[in-house]
A and B are shown apart, each in its own frame.
Chain A
Amino acid sequence: MGFKLKTDLNPQNFRYIGKHRRTKEDPRFVTGRGRYVADIALAGMKHVALVASPYPSARILSIKTDAALALPGVHYVLTGEEFCAATDALAIGVDAPKVARYSLANGVVRYAGEWVAAVVADTRAIAEDAAELVEVEYEPTPHVIDPEEAVKDGSPLVHPAHGSNVILKKHFKWGPVEDAFARAKHKLSLRAVWGRSSTVPIETFGVAAQWDAGQQILDIWASIQMPKFPDQAARALRLPGNAVRVHFDVDVGGSYGVKRGIKHTVLVGYLAKRLGMPVRLIEDRLENMRGGDMHGPDRIFDMQIAFDHDGTLRGLKIRALDDVGAYAGRSPFQLGKPVTAICGPYRIAAIEYEPTAVLTNKTPEEAVRGFGQAPTNFALERTIDCVARHLKMNPIEVRRKNLIRKEEFPYLIPSGSTYDSGDYHTVLDKALNAIDYPALVKERDSARRAGKLAGIGISACLEPNGGNSGFEPLLNPKNDTTTWMDSCVVRVDLSGAITGVMGTSSSGQGHETLVSTVIGEVLEREPGDIRVVRADSLQALPSNSPVGSRMAIMLGGAAAGAARKIKDTLIEIAAHNLKCTIESIEYSEGNASVRGHPDQRMTWDELIAIAHRKIHQMPPGIEPGLQAKFVWEVPTGGKLPAADNTVQIYPCYSFEAHVVYVEIDPDTAAPVLRKYVCGHDCGVMITPDIVHGMTYGGIAHGIGAALYEKFSYTADGQLESGTFMDYLLPSAMEVPTITIVDHCTPSPLTTFGQKGSGEAGYLGAPAAIANAINDALAPINARIDTLPITHDALWQVIRGAASSRN
């Protein structure tokens, strides 16, 4: 399974792969010529503003729209009564058919910020004016905000028809767990809490739609990053799939998982069709934070670990409670993906995992960068550090002892996934060397003597990548889906110019650069001359969109596969015309010659002319023109879980080792990240600048989650941090200078040995920062395991330690 190049392409001899290369995308963005959804002006376009519920839980008694409709410039006010009857509920991945979700509230509101009505007007300003005039009468009902309360009997139910607030509850045991815990010399338990945060792109979600009554097609432009987006939009709108055309050539202003605006799209699509006018919704920031349904994991981990006196880890128990908010799409699956790396990079033979997803009256959760892996890594890495502290061992030594060794790959973990390749010890060493660990220890100790709290934090974390639907049937056996493909078309036109066609949108990952570099590598032609375009959803080959850090592997592999077919065709044409065997053809930079007879040669232009224009010179059985498609399933994918709940999920595993030095002013409790090194191994990097950029960005996201960002709720169910004044995104002053040191253990499963890397940095940073802060607190016997670690929380913990000393 999986396409492999012939061995004549030696990774050491890559022409284009792995080199510094300017991206294709940057030039349009630096000149202000990006094309984001808000830049698209459709003739006669109308604008949407939302009316949102102020209550976390209430019955809607009435909605009066007269005053709003009377405002000049207002075209329509849509309520749930009409909308929910005319469309189908949005797809839900887990087995919870009674947890129905629509774009507008259906008689009942379940979170403060839920959309109750949509106003369509000539301008957004007028739509907002009108939205204020919509009169909604509510009858508040009991609500529940705390997830641990929500799982209890007697809690108010968010979806009474579902019978409880638990939307997913599983219990997995892999390996001899009870035995491991019984035998181990030591055990400890801890609670680690990942606060509700998200990746919050600077561009909010936006969608424009236009219904062409003549052709019976709904055109959609959206700032989207979502698998099955066209299909789900069509389904909810009760349209056949070929009546929806999603334009993927829209630049997406950042997503990192969250731009799954299916509810916005079904709403706008419905309005466009209903009103016969193009309609656009660009979330404003208030709508986005409270009603955009893009919050990330909100998770309480109860960890137990069993280990020997020398630090060898024997068994691990993880209980994870995730608060998914008032509705669920794919969000509960963020408890499932971590199964693919449930023991992290460590050799742990016995693991128990109890994930629960619970509903509360909060904004719904959505997929966020890492799909649950960042919180899980944080909990696991805190656990490892607690083991070290318990044994009075250096946290690095505990890790060295338990990290899977280079010789052990490919390595099968108890939950059924095989890690493809890695050399964790070397990456860790590289990171420690880069930061000069011994000198850093001295620096820390000297800072401590000067009265500061100072700490060094390590994390060793996996970034599973490549994507796979394997966690879907694992968490919901009724959902027996196993396909997770991607594709690419490569064409060489009559002029000899090369075009690659991809079928999904991008949000900064540099896919055009990826595809052109890969095609250029295979065909040995300059990537700068290769154009990459995006097909719309009616023309596109199947794709599962850029999620799960999969595109370097899947789109890169597909582009290589298609380019390889082109190359094979050229070689066949040459052999046929030079009257020799295919094996005797030497291909070089698009030209072909007979091995040993360089005078017997055909050029790129000649070969192309034959392919397009001279069918009399074509080998039999080869189609005319020069184009190829490649569609393929994710390597190692395609299997349902076994009866013992083991399954191969993601194929490839990148690894990151973070080393962070933090100083905390003991009087103000203000932490400062003074040094930051990240060792990173994602196999072969196709464009290093792109990979590094995403790693730096991931670390910045991680700093936000660790220290600053929280969607904070009052007991009344109100979101307190619904603006950028209160939801704190790190600026260049909060993110330190970061050094990345690379290592490469190629994947045996992929075309060039590349692994994915879109989630790098985010998956290990919060863990390392939390560990650094805890190292700083260790001398005063204090500890903190809840993110984000705010100044105030640190102060409480420092003060608590001082008073217990007194």
Chain B
Amino acid sequence: MKAAAFDYVRATSVAEACEMLRQDGDDVKLIAGGQSLTPMMAMRLTRPSRLIDINEIGALKFIAFGENVARIGACTRQSVVARDKALAAQVPLLRQALAWVGHVQTRNRGTVGGSLAHADPAAELPLVAQVLDARMQIRSTTGTRTLPAAEFFVGPLTTALAADECLEEIHWPMWTGHRLGSAFTEVSRRHGDFAIIEACAQIALDDEGRCTRANFGLGGGGTIPLAFPELASRLNGTLLEDAVLQDVAREAATELDPGSDLHASAGYRRHLAAVLATRVLRAAYEEARGKP
């Protein structure tokens, strides 16, 4: 399983990477962590004529905090994000999701941007991006644009990135309020495998225990991971009674159009979706309730 031959260049800056993308057209690919791209090349499912390596661009590897937003450089390693204490406090869903992502070896090399740009329908970081309404800062030779997650994920393994664009950084909104809870769970065949169904939720409560803000999402049940802000908004003002949570979860599950593959049938996926959405809403609520 040796890849087809290709040329290799290292970009030393984002600008340089974009310039290379612009020049060389459709037959080139950026390589970051390579955890998804390299196996596809080994199986000759994809055969770029040139790889542009962006791993050495320091400007793409950072974690910074702004006004209610955490900014992560696209080439920041997943393991670095998982270990970051400030992120764990401010954007807890990232660490919670990363506990389900692959294995230590893949997290040491895989990048946040790479996972998002790869856009596997069952991948964990894209689901978190959807639920938190993360913003993708995208660079090309003509400038920079920012896309919300909902516009970024277009289809299975397909994003809105143009052939000459490079994902530069991702902005993760930090919810305000001190009574926040979040949860991530999934069912997969084995630990670290792609999710059959994954779910995550984040909830904010006021001092009386009423929901002031909520969102949740499901992945693995369709072409892209989906957040359900409208359904979640029904929880605002409620005490998040279990019947209400279950209703909302069930309705979200009906909005999915899951496929069948050798690991799981559509029916099982739809069933799991309702179960897991309920569980993460409950768990997020429990965590928030436990905060002073």
Residues of A in contact with B (beta carbons under 8 Å apart): 123-125, 128-129, 132, 284-286, 667-670, 708, 710, 712, 720-721, 723, 725-726, 728, 730-731, 733-734, 790-792, 795-796, 799
A519 CB to closest chain B CB (Å) equals 42
A123 CB to closest chain B CB (Å) equals 8
Q: Is B268 positioned at the interface, with any CB of A under 8 Å from its CB? A: yes
Q: Is B4 positioned at the interface, with any CB of A under 8 Å from its CB? A: yes
- Nearest neighbor of A707 in chain B, beta-carbon distance: B189
A643 CB to closest chain B CB (Å) equals 48
Are A286 and B1 neighbours in the complex by a CB distance under 8 Å? Answer: yes
Q: How far does the alpha carbon of A328 sit from the alpha carbon of B252 in the complex, in Å?
A: 51
Sample of 18 A–B contacts (CB below 8 Å): A128-B1, A128-B2, A128-B44, A129-B5, A286-B43, A668-B275, A669-B268, A723-B43, A726-B263, A728-B190, A728-B193, A731-B191, A733-B191, A734-B190, A734-B191, A791-B196, A795-B268, A796-B268
Chain B residues with Cβ below 8 Å from A728 are 189-190, 193
Q: How far does the alpha carbon of A796 sit from the alpha carbon of B268 in the complex, in Å?
A: 8
Q: How far does the alpha carbon of A285 sit from the alpha carbon of B39 in the complex, in Å?
A: 12
Chain A residues with Cβ below 8 Å from B44 are 128, 132
Q: Is B187 positioned at the interface, with any CB of A under 8 Å from its CB? A: yes
Interface code B151-194, partner A: CB below 8 Å = 1, 0 otherwise?
00000000000000000000000000000000000010111111
Interface code B227-271, partner A: CB below 8 Å = 1, 0 otherwise?
000000000000000000000000000000000001111001001
- Nearest neighbor of B196 in chain A, beta-carbon distance: A791
| B200-240 at interface with A (beta carbon < 8 Å) | none
Q: Which 9 A-B pairs have the closest CB atoms?
A: A733-B191, A125-B2, A284-B1, A667-B275, A792-B268, A720-B262, A795-B268, A712-B262, A792-B264
A129-B271 contact, Cβ under 8 Å, with A668-B187, A726-B263, A791-B196: no
Q: Is B272 positioned at the interface, with any CB of A under 8 Å from its CB? A: yes
Are B189 and A790 neighbours in the complex by a CB distance under 8 Å? Answer: yes
Are B191 and A792 neighbours in the complex by a CB distance under 8 Å? Answer: no
Q: How far does the alpha carbon of A796 sit from the alpha carbon of B187 in the complex, in Å?
A: 16
- Nearest neighbor of B193 in chain A, beta-carbon distance: A728
Q: How far does the alpha carbon of A266 sit from the alpha carbon of B264 in the complex, in Å?
A: 41
Are B187 and A129 neighbours in the complex by a CB distance under 8 Å? Answer: no
| B1-58 at interface with A (beta carbon < 8 Å) | 1-5, 43-44
Chain A residues with Cβ below 8 Å from B194 are 725
A708-B189 contact, Cβ under 8 Å, with A128-B2, A726-B263, A792-B268: yes
Chain B residues with Cβ below 8 Å from A795 are 268, 271
- Nearest neighbor of B186 in chain A, beta-carbon distance: A668
Chain B residues with Cβ below 8 Å from A712 are 262
Are B2 and A124 neighbours in the complex by a CB distance under 8 Å? Answer: yes
Are A792 and B265 neighbours in the complex by a CB distance under 8 Å? Answer: yes
- Nearest neighbor of A732 in chain B, beta-carbon distance: B191
A195 CB to closest chain B CB (Å) equals 12
Are A733 and B2 neighbours in the complex by a CB distance under 8 Å? Answer: no
A791-B187 contact, Cβ under 8 Å, with A285-B1, A668-B275: yes
| B119-140 at interface with A (beta carbon < 8 Å) | none
A791-B264 contact, Cβ under 8 Å, with A124-B2, A667-B275: yes
Q: How far does the alpha carbon of A721 sit from the alpha carbon of B263 in the complex, in Å?
A: 10
Q: Which of B3, B192, B196, B276 contacts A733 (CB 8 A)?
A: B192
B122 CB to closest chain A CB (Å) equals 12
Interface code B261-292, partner A: CB below 8 Å = 1, 0 otherwise?
01111001001100110000000000000000
Q: How far does the alpha carbon of A133 sit from the alpha carbon of B44 in the complex, in Å?
A: 13
Q: Which DSSP category, helix, strand, loop or mixed, fits chain A's interface?
A: loop
B258 CB to closest chain A CB (Å) equals 12
Q: How far does the alpha carbon of A755 sit from the alpha carbon of B147 in the complex, in Å?
A: 68
- Nearest neighbor of A795 in chain B, beta-carbon distance: B268
Residues of B in contact with A (beta carbons under 8 Å apart): 1-5, 43-44, 187, 189-194, 196, 262-265, 268, 271-272, 275-276
Chain B residues with Cβ below 8 Å from A708 are 189-190
Chain A residues with Cβ below 8 Å from B187 are 668, 670, 791
Chain A residues with Cβ below 8 Å from B275 are 667-668
Q: Which of B2, B3, B189, B276 contacts A791 (CB 8 A)?
A: B189
Chain A residues with Cβ below 8 Å from B264 are 791-792
Q: How far does the alpha carbon of A415 sit from the alpha carbon of B56 in the complex, in Å?
A: 69
- Nearest neighbor of A124 in chain B, beta-carbon distance: B2
Q: How far does the alpha carbon of A733 sit from the alpha carbon of B1 in the complex, in Å?
A: 28
Q: How far does the alpha carbon of A286 sit from the alpha carbon of B262 in the complex, in Å?
A: 18
Are A790 and B263 neighbours in the complex by a CB distance under 8 Å? Answer: yes
A726-B190 contact, Cβ under 8 Å, with A125-B2, A128-B2, A791-B268: no
Q: How far does the alpha carbon of A623 sit from the alpha carbon of B60 in the complex, in Å?
A: 78
- Nearest neighbor of A125 in chain B, beta-carbon distance: B2
B255 CB to closest chain A CB (Å) equals 20
Q: How far does the alpha carbon of A113 sit from the alpha carbon of B205 in the complex, in Å?
A: 58
Q: How far does the alpha carbon of A284 sit from the alpha carbon of B2 in the complex, in Å?
A: 9
Are B262 and A721 neighbours in the complex by a CB distance under 8 Å? Answer: yes
Q: How far does the alpha carbon of A741 sit from the alpha carbon of B1 in the complex, in Å?
A: 43
Chain B residues with Cβ below 8 Å from A721 are 262
Are A726 and B262 neighbours in the complex by a CB distance under 8 Å? Answer: yes
Chain A residues with Cβ below 8 Å from B268 are 669, 791-792, 795-796
Chain B residues with Cβ below 8 Å from A734 are 190-191
Chain B residues with Cβ below 8 Å from A731 are 190-192
Q: How far does the alpha carbon of A795 sit from the alpha carbon of B192 in the complex, in Å?
A: 21
B48 CB to closest chain A CB (Å) equals 15
Q: How far does the alpha carbon of A128 sit from the alpha carbon of B191 in the complex, in Å?
A: 33
Q: How far does the alpha carbon of A386 sit from the alpha carbon of B44 in the complex, in Å?
A: 49
Q: How far does the alpha carbon of A88 sit from the alpha carbon of B32 in the complex, in Å?
A: 50
A319 CB to closest chain B CB (Å) equals 28
A485 CB to closest chain B CB (Å) equals 41
Q: How far does the alpha carbon of A668 sit from the alpha carbon of B268 in the complex, in Å?
A: 9
Chain A residues with Cβ below 8 Å from B196 are 791
Q: How far does the alpha carbon of A790 sit from the alpha carbon of B275 in the complex, in Å?
A: 18
A447 CB to closest chain B CB (Å) equals 18
Q: How far does the alpha carbon of A728 sit from the alpha carbon of B263 in the complex, in Å?
A: 10
Given A667-B275, A723-B43, 6 new contacts (CB under 8 A): A125-B2, A128-B2, A286-B1, A708-B189, A710-B262, A791-B189
Chain A residues with Cβ below 8 Å from B276 are 668
A169 CB to closest chain B CB (Å) equals 31
A73 CB to closest chain B CB (Å) equals 12
Chain A residues with Cβ below 8 Å from B3 are 125
Chain A residues with Cβ below 8 Å from B193 are 728
B245 CB to closest chain A CB (Å) equals 14
Q: How far does the alpha carbon of A669 sit from the alpha carbon of B265 in the complex, in Å?
A: 13
A673 CB to closest chain B CB (Å) equals 13
Q: How far does the alpha carbon of A733 sit from the alpha carbon of B5 in the complex, in Å?
A: 37
Q: Which of B190, B265, B272 contacts A668 (CB 8 A)?
A: B272
Q: How far does the alpha carbon of A710 sit from the alpha carbon of B192 in the complex, in Å?
A: 19
Chain B residues with Cβ below 8 Å from A726 are 262-263
For B194, B196, B264, B272, which residue has the most chain A Cβ atoms within 10 angstroms? B272
Q: How far does the alpha carbon of A795 sit from the alpha carbon of B260 in the complex, in Å?
A: 14
Q: How far does the alpha carbon of A295 sit from the alpha carbon of B183 in the complex, in Å?
A: 41
Q: How far does the alpha carbon of A124 sit from the alpha carbon of B264 in the complex, in Å?
A: 36
Chain B residues with Cβ below 8 Å from A284 are 1
Q: How far does the alpha carbon of A728 sit from the alpha carbon of B261 in the complex, in Å?
A: 14
Q: How far does the alpha carbon of A670 sit from the alpha carbon of B276 in the complex, in Å?
A: 12
B244 CB to closest chain A CB (Å) equals 19
Are A730 and B190 neighbours in the complex by a CB distance under 8 Å? Answer: yes
B267 CB to closest chain A CB (Å) equals 8
For A125, A132, A668, A710, which residue has the most chain B Cβ atoms within 10 angstroms? A668
A205 CB to closest chain B CB (Å) equals 15
Q: How far does the alpha carbon of A214 sit from the alpha carbon of B272 in the complex, in Å?
A: 68
Chain B residues with Cβ below 8 Å from A725 are 194
Q: How far does the alpha carbon of A124 sit from the alpha carbon of B268 in the complex, in Å?
A: 42
Q: How far does the alpha carbon of A731 sit from the alpha carbon of B102 in the complex, in Å?
A: 12
B135 CB to closest chain A CB (Å) equals 31
Chain B residues with Cβ below 8 Å from A286 are 1, 43
Chain A residues with Cβ below 8 Å from B2 are 123-125, 128
Chain B residues with Cβ below 8 Å from A790 are 189, 263
Chain B residues with Cβ below 8 Å from A129 are 4-5
- Nearest neighbor of A733 in chain B, beta-carbon distance: B191
B200 CB to closest chain A CB (Å) equals 16
